């Protein structure tokens, strides 16, 4: 047996210099990746190579002479596997299998085995050639691959937020995941083999969009887009789509990977955000315009007051010159128009002193009948609709009248060839979940509904902006709806407009309903004061930091026959007061630098507790709830207002 042992690697210069027999020996001895050895006809190991030693762990000395069944697992040995292998080799001419084998150290490995019978020249089996290869590594690599493929499959399958699927090179669906099912609505077996163009809206399909996207993906490697796609039920969604071309190692296109995400929600959220931003911008813009308008209107108010009362005083003195009188009347009318304008601006800026009263809307409308008819002319009819009973509202009736007048004129203007519009009101109860952006509570919903031209979306969105008008220069100020909105909001309500081109316009003003209705007997009958009757000339101190206004007040008072001292500040006023013991009345402005009117009154009261006092205030100057114990006079005021206030102050 010694001659079969191949124990040492021979050192040879060239293989071809060896005798033929040695060449085989050298060959086998050089093989380390395969175990190559011989068994005799009974299965006893009779030769051993380095590959065998490497994979099994036995040296030639240790293993030669042993039966090859020592390489088998005990269970396989007990089952007769070694004998079966040899027998198969004899009967079939060859045995080939993969299986577990045991190394010398007891560890197991997976192996590929080939056994060939070795026959003598007369054909008898004299032994077996055995070649085995350790496949453990290949097997574990394969297993790892299989399990990672499995993991990928599970991963892709269970993603529900993304549709992940594959297309063959022609665009037919070849795999489908849960996300695809959820987003597109098709089950796997419904969609496999179908062409992916069915996910496109018809117009896109006709325009060749599906083919184009595959062509781009094939050419550039990837296609990415946001576009509308169709679900199985026909509904559409905004999809973010990526198509990647898949190529094999040779660069040949074998299909496409498609990932689709439904971004409808995201885009909705984005739109909502943009809308909110736009609203915020509008609100800020209006706030700024409000500040500006309010400021300008405040100063104009004072100036117009001076102009108007000066004109009326001049008018008294020139009563016989008819030419002058008509000029003066012109000037007074222009000043009055200016005053109305500034009132509207103040109302828009929500900076107006509201003279809050219990108001019955039906009564208010009825009281305006004549004025409305005159304002809108004969071609337009007014229809009123009020329920039998309607709660009162707490509001400023004069403001509400001017709002209604504007709405009526707007309605008339929207119906150039005549028609009719409806003024109505009804009570509404709102809970906290109402979508009118109003607090919960009871409201009176006051509306003017016309059948006129209506507004397009652009006009509607700007209708309540101050100075926005479509009526042409000199015809409309564009302040009507702006003031109506300011007024409604200052009253704790809201203005709402519903309008469609050609379908008319409804403007609604929601005003909080009063807690209880007026009871006719509760209201004390207003004392009828006939201003200025039997009044003795008085000594009066007038205080205002605005020289023009002060001069005007003084002129009015002197015109009424009183003697007047004047002061341009609170401190000056105190000086005059201390100098002049015989004062009958103090009239002071409120908003003055240094010392306000209210502060002045407090100091005066300390010295002269019984002196009658009138406090003149512009729009919303006094913080609400201010107690003054003085008669209030709203600016701008004219001689009538002044006289009424004086009567009240002297009676206190």
User: Where on the chain is the footprint of Mg ion (CB under 5 A)?
Assistant: 406, 410, 480
Per partner kind, with CB cut-offs from 5 to 8 A, the member of Mg ion, ligand ATP, none near residue 414 is ligand ATP
Q: Is 486 in the site for ligand ATP (CB under 6 A)?
A: no
List of residues 6+ apart from 446 with CB closer than 8 A: 361, 424, 425, 508, 509, 510, 511
Question: Is residue 243 a contact residue for ligand ATP (CB under 6 A)?
Answer: no
CA–chain centroid gap for 543, Å, is 53
Cα distance from N-terminal residue to C-terminal residue, the chain: 145
Residue 539 binds which entry of Mg ion, ligand ATP, none, CB below 5-8 Å type-dependent: none
CA distances from 470 to 403, 462, 475, 478 (A): 18, 10, 9, 8
Q: Say which entry of ligand ATP, Mg ion, none residue 88 contacts (CB below 5 to 8 A, set by partner kind).
A: none
Q: Does 461 bind ligand ATP (CB under 6 A)?
A: no
- Which string of DSSP letters, residue by residue, matches 494-544? EEEEEE-TTS-EEEEEEEEBPSS---TTTSPPPPP--TTTTPPP-EEEEE-
Of these, 49, 309, 505, 596, which contacts ligand ATP (CB under 6 A)?
505
Can residue 468 be called a binding residue for ligand ATP (CB under 6 A)? yes
Residue of 224, 309, 243 whose CA lies nearest to 550: 309
Cβ contacts of residue 4 below 8 Å, gap of 6+? 38, 46, 47
Out of Mg ion, ligand ATP, none, what residue 545 binds, judged by CB under 5 to 8 A for its kind, is none
Q: Contact between 476 and ligand ATP (CB under 6 A)?
A: yes
Contact mark string toward ligand ATP, 369..408, x via CB under 6 A: -------------------------------------x--
Between CA 350 and CA 368 the distance in angstroms is: 24
- The Cβ of residue 584 has, within 10 Å, a number of other Cβ atoms equal to 17
197: DSSP letter: G
**Which option in Mg ion, ligand ATP, none does residue 573 bind, with CB closer than 5 to 8 A by kind?**
none
**Which residue in 264, 357, 420, 459 binds ligand ATP (CB under 6 A)?**
459
Q: Which is nearer to ligand ATP, 66 or 470 (CB)?
A: 470
Q: Which of 146, 366, 471, 651 binds ligand ATP (CB under 6 A)?
A: 471
290 binds ligand ATP (CB under 6 A): no
In the list Mg ion, ligand ATP, none, the entry touching 506 (Cβ below 5 to 8 angstroms by class) is none
Q: Residue 51 contacts by C-beta under 8 Å, 6 or more apart in sequence?
A: 31, 32, 33, 34, 35, 36
CB of 514 to ligand ATP, least distance (A): 27
- Residue 411 binds: one of Mg ion, ligand ATP, none (C-beta under 5 to 8 A by kind): ligand ATP
Residue 293 in the binding site for ligand ATP (CB under 6 A): no
Sign of CA dihedral 463, 464, 465, 469: positive
**Which region, judged by CB under 6 A, interacts with ligand ATP, from 225-233, 267-275, 449-457, 531-539?**
449-457
330 binds ligand ATP (CB under 6 A): no
Please compute Rg for the chain using Cα positions. Answer: 52
When CB distances are held under 5 to 8 angstroms depending on the partner's kind, the choice from Mg ion, ligand ATP, none that residue 452 binds is: ligand ATP
Residue 336 CA to residue 330 CA, distance in Å, equals 10
List residues near ligand ATP by CB under 6 A.
406, 410-411, 414, 450, 452-455, 459, 463, 468-471, 476-482, 505
């Amino acid at each position: 047996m010694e001659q079969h042992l191949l124990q040492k690697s021979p050192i040879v210069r060239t293989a071809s210099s060896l005798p033929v027999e040695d060449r085989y020996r050298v060959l086998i001895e050089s093989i380390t990746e395969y175990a190559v050895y011989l068994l005799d006809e009974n299965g006893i190991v009779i030769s051993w190579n380095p590959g065998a030693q490497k994979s099994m762990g036995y040296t030639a000395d240790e293993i030669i002479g042993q039966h090859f069944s020592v390489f088998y697992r005990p269970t396989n040995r007990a089952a007769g596997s070694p004998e079966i292998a040899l027998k198969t080799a004899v009967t079939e001419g060859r045995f080939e299998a993969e299986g577990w084998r045991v190394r010398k150290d007891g560890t197991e490995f997976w192996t590929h085995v080939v056994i060939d019978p070795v026959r003598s020249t007369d054909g008898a089996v004299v032994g077996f050639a055995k070649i085995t290869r350790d496949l453990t590594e290949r097997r574990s690599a394969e297993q790892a691959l299989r399990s990672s493929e499995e993991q990928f499959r599970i991963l892709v399958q269970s993603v529900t937020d993304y549709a992940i699927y594959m297309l063959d090179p022609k665009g037919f669906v070849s795999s489908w995941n849960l996300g695809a099912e959820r987003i597109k609505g098709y089950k796997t077996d419904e969609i496999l083999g179908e062409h992916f163009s069915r996910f496109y809206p018809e117009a896109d399909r006709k325009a060749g969009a599906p083919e184009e996207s595959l062509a781009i993906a094939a050419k550039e490697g990837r296609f990415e887009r946001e576009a509308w796609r169709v679900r199985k039920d026909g509904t559409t969604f905004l999809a973010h789509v990526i198509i990647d071309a898949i190529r094999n190692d040779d660069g040949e296109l074998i299909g496409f990977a498609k990932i689709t995400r439904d971004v409808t929600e995201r885009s909705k959220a984005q739109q909502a955000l943009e809308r909110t931003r736009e609203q915020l911008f509008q609100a800020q813009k209006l706030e700024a315009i409000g500040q500006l308008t309010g400021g300008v209107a405040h100063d104009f108010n004072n100036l117009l007051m001076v102009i108007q009362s000066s004109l009326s005083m001049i008018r008294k003195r020139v009563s016989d010159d008819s030419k002058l009188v008509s000029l003066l009347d012109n000037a007074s009318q222009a000043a009055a128009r200016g005053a109305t304008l500034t009132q509207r601006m103040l109302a828009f800026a929500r900076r107006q002193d509201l003279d809050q009263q219990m108001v019955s809307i039906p009564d208010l409308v009825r009281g305006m009948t004549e004025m409305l008819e005159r304002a809108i002319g004969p071609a337009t009819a007014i229809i009123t609709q009020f329920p039998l009973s309607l709660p009162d509202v707490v509001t400023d009736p004069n403001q509400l009248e001017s709002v209604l007048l504007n709405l009526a004129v707007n309605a008339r203007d929207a119906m150039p060839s005549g028609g009719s519009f409806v003024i109505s009101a009804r009570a509404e109860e709102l809970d906290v979940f109402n979508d009118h952006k109003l607090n919960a509570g009871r409201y009176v919903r006051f509306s003017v509904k016309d059948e006129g031209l209506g507004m397009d979306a652009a006009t509607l969105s700007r209708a309540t902006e101050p100075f926005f008008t479509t009526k042409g220069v000199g015809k409309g100020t564009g302040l009507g709806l702006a003031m109506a909105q300011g007024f409604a909001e200052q009253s704790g309500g809201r203005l709402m407009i519903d309008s469609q081109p050609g379908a008319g316009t409804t403007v609604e003003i929601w005003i909080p309903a009063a807690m209880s209705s007026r009871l006719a007997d509760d209201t004390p009958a207003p004392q009828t004061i006939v201003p200025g009757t039997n009044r003795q000339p008085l000594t009066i101190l007038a205080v205002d930091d605005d020289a023009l206004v002060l001069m005007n007040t003084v002129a009015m008072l002197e015109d009424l026959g009183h003697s007047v001292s004047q002061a341009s500040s609170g401190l000056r006023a105190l000086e005059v007061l201390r100098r002049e013991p015989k004062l009958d009345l103090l009239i002071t402005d409120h908003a003055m630098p240094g010392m306000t009117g209210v502060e002045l009154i407090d100091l005066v009261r300390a010295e002269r507790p019984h002196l009658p006092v009138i406090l003149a205030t512009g729009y919303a100057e006094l913080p609400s709830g201010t107690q003054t114990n003085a008669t209030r006079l709203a600016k701008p005021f004219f001689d009538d207002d002044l006289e009424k206030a004086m009567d009240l102050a002297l009676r206190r």
